[in-house]
Every structure is written in structure tokens, then in C-alpha cells.
Amino acid sequence: MSDNDIALKPKTRSKPKLDRPKLYKVILFNDDYTPREFVVMILKAVFRMSEETGYRVMMTAHKMGSSVVVVCTKDIAETKVKEAMDYAKDAGFPLMLTAEPEE
Ligand code: TYC
């Protein structure tokens, strides 16, 4: 080895891989009292859905018992659940949504 030779270490990854943020599902639950139009209005106002998508998601919850509304970060999911349920509570309806971590 001459003086100019530098022993190079094999390149190893020094940047730790960043974990992707855990995702949360917002779930909409059916009930017997909240009017269909009110549920669609909430989906449009809080989740920025079109009339058609809102109607489809509302009807899925109505028929199946629940429906996934959106998948997003914990922060956004919890904020939107609170916003939607506050609207419903103010209007006197028992509409229920939850934020659940994805497996
Ligand atoms: N089942 C309600 C009715 O018949 C409508 C409804 C749909 C309520 C979806 C909640 O998540 C829901 N008035």
C-alpha cells in the first residue's frame, strides 16, 4: 500500500429509514335517527365529498352498519371525527364516527 492509498470503508447506510406515519380509518356508523340528508351534508362539509360519494358512503353505512369514510393521519382523523360529531350533537342527532388505527 503506498502513502496515497486510502482504505475505503464499504459504504453503509447512515441515514436511518423514517417510519411512515401510522394511518387511521374514519368509520361512520349507522343509527335509526339521523336523517340521511344530514349524514350526506356532514360528509360533504367535513370530508369534502361530492353529493354522489357522500350518498354512496351514507348508504353503505345505512345498509351494512358502518362504512369507511377516509384513511389519513391520526391528527386529521381525530379532528374530523370531532368536527362531524359536534355538528351532529348541535343538531340533536346521535351520529357516531370513530378514528381507528389500520392494522
Ligand atoms: N339510518 C338512518 C335513517 O334511516 C340514516 C343514516 C345513514 C344514519 C348512515 C347514519 O351513518 C348513518 N334515517
Q: Please state, in angstroms and rounded to a whole number, the distance separating the CA atoms of residues 11 and 58.
A: 54
3 within domain boundaries = no
Nearest CA to ligand 1 atom 11: 30
What CATH number does the domain containing 31 carry? Answer: 3.30.1390.10
Q: Which atom of ligand 1 approaches the CA of 58 most closely? A: 9
Is there a contact between 83 and 42 (Cβ–Cβ < 8 Å)?
no
Q: Are strands 66-73 and 96-101 parallel, antiparallel or unpaired?
A: unpaired
Condensed to tens digits (0 to 9), the pLDDT of residues 22-77 reads 999 999 999 999 999 999 999 999 999 999 999 999 999 999 999 999 999 999 99
pTM of the predicted structure, to 2 decimals: 0.84
Map residue 7 onto helix, strand or coil.
coil
Domain hosting residue 89, numbered range: 23-101
Query: How many domains would you assign to the chain?
Result: 1
Nearest CA to ligand 1 atom 12: 30
12 within domain boundaries = no
